[in-house]
Amino acid sequence: MEGSSRIGGFVMQQNILSQHYRILDQDDFRIFSSFEETETKERLEEIAAEAMKS
């Protein structure tokens, strides 16, 4: 994986070969995957916000 963004315990990564994006939790479990960067960033923010509420 190439390039990543991190919010809280979650990380967004882009695969260098397929160019898809994924979000991993603090245990490196994939919780979201998409080819759309904007969609993935928005989902990362939503997931992190939800986690902070609990």
DSSP 15: -
How many structural domains does the chain have?
1
What pLDDT shows up at residue 1? 59
What pLDDT shows up at residue 16? 92
Q: What is the pLDDT along the chain (54 residues), one digit of tens a residue?
A: 566 899 989 999 999 999 999 999 999 999 999 999 999 999 999 999 999 887
Domain residues for the domain of 15 are: 2-53
33 to each of 41, 43, 53, 54, how far by Cα in Å?
11, 10, 23, 23
Q: Which residue(s) pair with 11 in the sheet?
A: 6, 24
Whole-structure pTM value: 0.88
What pLDDT shows up at residue 4? 81
